[in-house]
Structure formats: C-alpha cells, structure tokens
Amino acid sequence: MTAQFKYCEACRKAPVAIVNGCDSVEYPYKLCQACNNRLESESLRPIEWYNLACIHGPWGDNLGPYLEDGSPDNPESGLTRAEIVANSAPTLANVKLHAEALLEFTISRFSISQDLRQAWCALSPEEVLRTVTDHFAINRQPTPRECCLKVIAATQGARGAAFVRYCWGEFPALSALALAEASAACLPEQEAFDRCIATIHASKGAEKRESIRVLEYLRSPLVLDWIEREIFEPITEIWGEIAAPNSFDWTRAEAWLRSGRPLSLVAIDALGRMAANESSLTNSPRLAARPGRRRLVDVLSAYAKADPVPRVQHRVALLITMAEPYLFDPDRTD
Ligand SMILES: [Zn+2]
C-alpha cells in the first residue's frame, strides 16, 4: 500500500502533490493538485471519493457531503450526471468475489449491511482471515482497523481468537466497543467478559458511565451477575440497555423488581428495551422464559405500588401497554 501511494490516493493516476492534513495530521490525504481542489470544493468524482474512503474510512469531515455511491450530496458540486456516471465507484456486485476488494469496499461503508455480511460469509474463512490480517498490518488507522475487527466478528468465530487477542494489544488506539464486538464472537465467554470488564475498571470520571456499553455485545449472563455485584451511580437507562441483550429473562427480571432499587430500575428499563423491540445490535433482545400476562401485570403493578415515583409509575404503565407480544407468553394462563 505504501508504494502505491506515490500516486494520488483519490484518482490513483497522478503523482502526489499535496499532503492534506485537514482531517488527520497523523494520517493525511495524499493527493494530486486537481483532486485536492475537488476535495476542498466538495466535488470529488465518485471513484475518487471511494478510493479515499477505502483507505481512511467514510467519516472524515471532507468526505461527508457524499452519498454512499460516492456521488456528491451537494447540488453545487458542479459535477454533471455524465461525469458522475463515467467515474462511478464499484458496487458490492463488482467486489464481492474478491476478499481484498471487498475489504476496501467495506471500509468505505458507514455500516455493514445484511447484503455485505452475506458477501463476507460466502468467502472462504481462511482467505478472509488472511486478507484481513494482511490489511490490518499495513493500514494503521483506527477506522479501517475497527472495520477489520467487524469482518472478523462476522466471519470467524473461534478461528479469529488469535487475531482478536493480538488486537487487544492495540487498545486504547482501537476502541473498546470494536474489540468487545469481536471478542464476543471469537473468544471464550469468560475471557471476552474479563477483557471488557478490565476496560471499565480502567475508565475514570465521566467516561466510566459510557464505558459499560462494551458489555452490550457479550450476550452472557455473566454480565447480569456483574451488574448485581458492581452497579454504580448514575443509574441511567444505559444499565437497562446492556442488561437486555445479555440473556435477561423473566426470572431475573422478577428478582430485580422484588429487590427494589437500583436493580428494579434497571429491570424496567431492560423490559422497556425489549418491549420497544429496538436495538443497535443485529438481533433485538427478547425476553426469555416469559410469564403469562396476568403474572407480568401483577409483578409490575406490585413494584409500581412499592416505589411510587413518577419515573417508575410512567414506565410501568408504558410497559403494561406495550407488553404484547414481547414480554408475556399468550399461551400461559398464570
Ligand atoms: Zn488525484
């Protein structure tokens, strides 16, 4: 990759004339004069935007005003339709059979879509691991590297364990969230849990309340046991959001509701997350071992009576309204 970029990173034809550190001093764009002018005027051609996003990721300030196919999202770009068509960026269909090209494509995306995930899973896992490992060694930027971790998480399972352990050596340059997602997919449950917990313990001050989000990926009851032991202020909705996808079931919910604060507040937030059926994760969390409707309403109502503050009253009322079909089993009569 280094030798390749004696040529402009955008057009990949003209020699580098400008080292543009507008977005990152550490990893500047290396451009010819013409591409630098187009970058500054938000009028890169689709293939030029794509080539830059393949190397740096799509998040840079100067790469923002473009659509995912690389065409400018700016009517004043000056590019004609014909110019856009003649300089189009590759599509998934163009790259999906070649791991290296697919990885570049993936780095240029804002997220991994279902189609993209399927394309990765159709390739040989050995080839994917080799391609990602090679790319990771060459491109040291955090965004592309975190994309590599996502690909490993989606394709490798236990085969990716050695790679993920190596990547933990790059923390905190690599985000704990990216490492947590790959760890949940590739490492033994206890090891993934221990590594994530260590990042929480290493966090200080305001960072600490957000640091618990690493636990959202683990899908392990170890997280629920840890919450029971270690929960700390402030008791925000984040606690419920991380409890919900970690094998949260009705037995645990009922125990937490009966125990009172703070775990009862976490329980109603976790149930709320499940009732709303919303999640940033691929699969929305579902309540296991659901009770019958009467039991659900009785337990929630008893808790609302015991903790008569507006936050609890409002959320319990909402839960009872929203319960179907996520929180109770319509076939149960209890
Ligand atoms: Zn150029």
Backbone angles phi, psi at 166, to 5 degrees: -60, -45
Task: Reduce the DSSP state of residue 19 to 3 states and report it.
Answer: strand
- Cα separation, 87 vs 97, whole angstroms: 22
pLDDT of residue 5: 62
> Phi and psi of 31, rounded to 5°?
-135, 160
31 alpha carbon – ligand 1 mean position (Å): 5
- pLDDT by residue for the chain (334 residues), tens digit each? 444 568 999 999 999 999 998 778 899 999 999 999 999 999 999 999 999 999 999 988 789 889 989 998 888 888 999 999 999 999 999 999 999 999 999 999 999 999 999 999 999 999 999 999 999 999 999 999 999 999 999 999 999 999 999 999 999 999 999 999 999 999 999 999 999 999 999 999 889 999 999 999 999 999 999 999 999 999 999 999 999 999 999 999 999 999 999 999 999 999 999 887 654 554 678 899 999 999 999 999 999 999 999 999 999 999 998 876 789 998 888 8
- What's the confidence (pLDDT) of residue 2? 45
Residues 182, 152 contacting (CB under 8 angstroms): yes
Q: What is the pLDDT of residue 330?
A: 87
Question: Residue 278's pLDDT is what?
Answer: 56
> What is the C-alpha separation between 273 and 276, in angstroms, rounded?
5
How far away, in angstroms, is 274 Cα from ligand 1 center? 49
Number of Cβ atoms within 10 Å of the Cβ of 202: 13
Are 194 and 201 in contact by the 8 Å Cβ rule? The answer is no
Residue 29, strand partner residues: 20
Query: What pLDDT does residue 1 have?
Result: 46
C-alpha 28 to ligand 1 mean position (Å) = 14
> 142 CA distance to ligand 1 centroid (A)?
24
Long-range contacts of 131-139 (CB under 8 A, 24+ apart): 131/99, 131/100, 131/103, 132/103, 132/163, 133/163, 135/100, 135/103, 136/163, 136/167, 138/1, 138/2, 139/1, 139/55
Q: How many CB atoms lie within 10 A of CB 59?
A: 11
Evaluate if pTM is beyond 0.75.
yes
User: Which strand (E) or helix (H) includes residue 102?
Assistant: helix 99-107
Ligand 1 center from residue 119 Cα (angstroms):
30
Q: Residue 20 — φ and ψ, nearest 5°?
A: -100, 105
C-alpha 277 – ligand 1 centre gap (Å): 46
